[in-house]
A = this chain, B = another copy of it.
Amino acid sequence: MSSQSTENLQASFKNGDLRALTRAISLAENKEASVLALLAGVFDKVGKARVLGITGPPGAGKSSLANLFVRFLREKKKKVAVLAVDPVSPFTGGALLGDRIRLADHFNDEGVFIRSLSTRGKLGGLSLATREAVHLCDAFGFDYVLIETVGVGQSEVDIRKIADLAVVVLVPDWGDGVQALKAGILEIGEHFIVNKSDREGADRVVNELRNMLQISGRPADAVSSCSTHDVPSVEKVFSSLENQLEHDKAAILKKREASCKEMVGELLSERVLEETRNWVQKNVANPKNPYAWLTDFLKANPLGSLFK
């Protein structure tokens, strides 16, 4: 992309042209170098949006909840961007796409922007692209950014680092007695929603989660339950999320600052990684013993002096 067209894109973006936002997110998704100038140019507008992360196992009802959250926000005239993060999962990828269709309720609403993010074969994974997309939506002027992702390992997208508030959606019949697993869940979420609360066992899961939070010195009211068949119950849960966002404002600001420093590491790493692979591709012949090759290389090129 030429610097001329980058400038044009930036101008359209600042004029509120949704196509410019879509184009910019594609650049981030495809790791195009030109997105950097755009992001640098609009970053002073970042910081107004609330960023809500929604994660959980497939089938927990994340999209249905997101759908209702969008409705509540639209009733208050808030502009909402929904980023649906699709990690490349060949065995479970289908369900996510199916879920997405429910968000079609809002397809004709100009105050709602829905975008799927996925990368395939690109270095660096989705984490950085997701963060960039959040910044783009925030700078564009959305009041809320909802990030929806299936939980397929923290390695892919660390929702807790990207969102102001990371919400884990669970269902009652989930994980009977898998305490170790639940401990893992605790690390991911800052709020827990037990969805499908009309099913048997919902109260038990709520209580278990509350106990586990209390044991680790965290507030038990970070667990709520609802059913998407009972809209007021979801509305109540959403209010408590809004309260938590309001209440934790100072902590959220601190988190965002820490995330800026972390981003520098990620942004630079991504470029260095690409450079390294290109260099190897061009300059290294097929070695008989790759481990011996690296040992020799590191002796000749101590990495400690990569940056001056």
Contacts and interface: CB of A to CB of B under 8 A. Distances in A.
* 10 A-B pairs with least C-beta separation: A90-B184, A40-B291, A39-B291, A57-B91, A40-B292, A265-B280, A275-B303, A94-B178, A263-B290, A91-B151
B284 A297 contact: no
Interface of A: 36-37, 39-40, 43-44, 56-57, 87-94, 125, 151-156, 175, 178, 180-181, 184-185, 187-188, 257-258, 260-261, 263-265, 267-269, 271-273, 275-277, 279-281, 283-295, 297-298, 301, 303-304, 306-308
Question: Chain A's interface: helix, strand, loop or mixed, by majority?
Answer: helix
B289 A188 contact: no
Given A36-B294, A298-B271, A301-B307, A180 B88 contact: no
A129 to B, nearest CB: 13
List the number of copies, as a whole number: 2
A150 to B, nearest CB: 8
A34 B258 CA distance: 32
A275 B290 contact: no
Given A88-B155, A153-B88, A276-B272, A308 B301 contact: yes
